[in-house]
Amino acid sequence: MLRPIHANILIKQKVAEETTTGGIILTNAKNEGVVEANVIAVGKGTYDAKGKFITPNVNEGDRILVNVNGGTKFTHEDTEYVSITNNEIVAVFS
């Protein structure tokens, strides 16, 4: 299991389905702006410039929206992950 350090957040982006189960092709399946993702793991936080300890605003298991090109993408054991920071989160599903 990967454990992010400091204020990093480890996510797994959802892949947009391009066809339905009935075989209908979805022409606008790829969203070029934001993408849904699942939070896999969350770092403990870090200090800001004024010395205040800041924790990330999400928890493991949350569903979020992030910019499609945000973060740092990498592959570990054949699974693609993205490491982001709190500032890269667009919204959290409630």
pLDDT of residue 85: 94
pLDDT digits (tens, 9 = 90+) for 13-64: 987 656 666 766 555 555 568 899 999 999 999 999 999 999 999 999 999 9
Q: For every residue of 21-52, which 3-state class applies, written as one string? A: CCCCECCCCCCCCEEEEEEEEECCCEECCCCC
pTM of the model: 0.80
Residue-range domains of the chain with CATH: 9-14+31-92 (2.30.33.40)
53: left (phi over 0), alpha (psi -120 to 50) or beta: beta
- CA torsion angle for 23, 27, 30, 32 (degrees, to 10)? 180
pLDDT digits (tens, 9 = 90+) for 80-89: 999 999 999 9
Q: Position of tokens 């969203």?
A: 31
Report the alpha-carbon distance of residue 52 to residue 19 in Å, rounded: 48
